[in-house]
Amino acid sequence: MLILRCRFITINLAPLRPSHFQSHKLFHTTRFFRTPNLISTPRITSSSLPTTRSISDEARFARSVLFIPPGVEIEELTDDMVLPGSNIVIGPFAGHSQIKQVEFVKSSARARDCPKDDLPEIAILGRSNVGKSSLINCLVRKKEVALTSKKPGKTQLINHFLVNKSWYIVDLPGYGFAKVSDAAKTDWSAFTKGYFLNRDTLVCVLLLIDASVPPQKIDLDCANWLGRNNVPLTFVFTKCDKMKAAKGKRPDENIKAFQQIIRENFKQHPPWILTSSVSGLGRDELLLHMSQLRNYWDQ
Ligand SMILES: Nc1nc2c(ncn2[C@@H]2O[C@H](COP(=O)(O)OP(=O)(O)OP(=O)(O)O)[C@@H](O)[C@H]2O)c(=O)[nH]1
Ligand SMILES: [Mg+2]
């Protein structure tokens, strides 16, 4: 069995159970790619294959637990193509990923008010206080870009940030903030439908999951809703630096428990990655993953 070694946890991914969920919308279809291979993709050698499994068993297993992007043949897969601290295979669409320039463009109250220039966008979604704004600041390496706060519910609008003049990061309002009124909760539900289902330029949703707390029903409901509606998502586990949780379980235990539940609902495990906005864990890896999603969408 393939074991993914992360920087501070080892996750043994068992084969997934089939389910009615369809997997990643963008990456389900087989298409030719036009960009050159920017990452070396060493060929698999006979010594790197398990002796007790046939290649097809291994291929089936790899497909069920790894995120294999377009342009990567399963026979070419080697351990070093998997980003550290993730199940994400890096393929030929990965390219320039660093953020050189970022500018705030606008805040929109409704999906129809969002920018209409057809640039690809990656949205950041998660519970209030999960660390959405902090992750954006970490990715762009600027403290003041997306406002962070200890007080949940700080981000109330759809905020578009233009990156390298070519794509958007979108900071969304958090869900599950206990103190919002029923009216505000209804608005959030209408907003999700409007934005996620109709935004043609949405490349992927980064669904942030707080690794310092056990799996939350509201996060699982959100993941299942996105899965059912074929909205491409990547699980980004946040606050992985909180190794000594004051109470409860450690991040690695919480992440394992979350993934176990996801395996029961998703035929193929969506991409996932460990991050910390405090230590910078997973920052460069996540940027690289975002670049391959964007470049594939953009072709
Ligand atoms: N230890 C640790 N704390 C973090 C991390 N990311 C965010 N935080 C803290 O968590 C709190 C909330 O962070 P925000 O980035 O404002 O969260 P948000 O998801 O944007 O919140 P809303 O806008 O209210 O939905 C702040 O006190 C952050 O400092 C992390 O990686 N590690
Ligand atoms: Mg915020």
pLDDT digits (tens, 9 = 90+) for 15-45: 323 233 333 333 332 222 222 222 222 233 3
Q: Is 155 in the pocket of ligand 1 (CB under 6 A)?
A: yes
The answer as to whether 73 is a domain residue is no
Residues of the chain with pLDDT under 50: 1-52, 186
Cα 139-221-70 angle, rounded to 5 deg: 55
147 CA: nearest ligand 1 atom: 16
The answer as to whether 145 is a domain residue is yes
Count of Cβ atoms closer than 10 Å to residue 60 Cβ:
13
Closest CA to 252 of 5, 29, 11: 11
Count of Cβ atoms closer than 10 Å to residue 145 Cβ:
21
Mutate to test the pocket of ligand 1, among 125, 128, 129 (most ligand atoms within 8 A of CB): 129
Q: Is 276 in the pocket of ligand 1 (CB under 6 A)?
A: yes
Cα–ligand 2 centroid distance for 125 (angstroms): 9
CA–CA separation, 75 and 55 (whole Å): 8
Contact (CB, 8 A) for 92 and 71: yes
Structural domain count of the chain = 1
Rounded to an integer, what is the distance from CA 251 to the centroid of its chain?
A: 17
pLDDT of residue 54: 58
The answer as to whether 198 is a domain residue is yes
pLDDT of residue 232: 94
CA–CA separation, 125 and 206 (whole Å): 6
pLDDT of residue 245: 55
pLDDT of residue 262: 93
pLDDT of residue 16: 29
The answer as to whether 256 is a domain residue is yes
pLDDT of residue 10: 36
Q: For position 183, which CATH number holds?
A: 3.40.50.300
Q: What would the pLDDT profile of 190-235 be if each residue is shown by its tens digit?
A: 666 678 888 999 999 999 999 999 999 999 999 998 999 999 999 9
pTM recorded for the entire structure:
0.80
Q: Is 150 in the pocket of ligand 1 (CB under 6 A)?
A: yes
Give residue for tokens 């006979």.
Answer: 46
pLDDT of residue 216: 94
The Cβ-side half-sphere exposure at 134, using a 13 Å CA radius, reads 21
Residues with Cβ within 8 Å of 292's Cβ and at least 6 positions away in sequence, in order, are: 69, 90, 91, 93, 94, 95
Contact (CB, 8 A) for 223 and 272: no
The answer as to whether 50 is a domain residue is no
The answer as to whether 80 is a domain residue is no
The answer as to whether 75 is a domain residue is no
The answer as to whether 79 is a domain residue is no
Cα–ligand 1 centroid distance for 141 (angstroms): 15
Q: Is 241 in the pocket of ligand 1 (CB under 6 A)?
A: yes
Domain that holds residue 215: 102-297
Closest CA to 263 of 192, 210, 215, 212: 215
pLDDT of residue 298: 79
ipTM of the assembly?
A: 0.99
Of the ligands numbered here, which is closest to the C-alpha atom of 130? 1
Q: What percent of the chain has pLDDT over 70?
A: 70
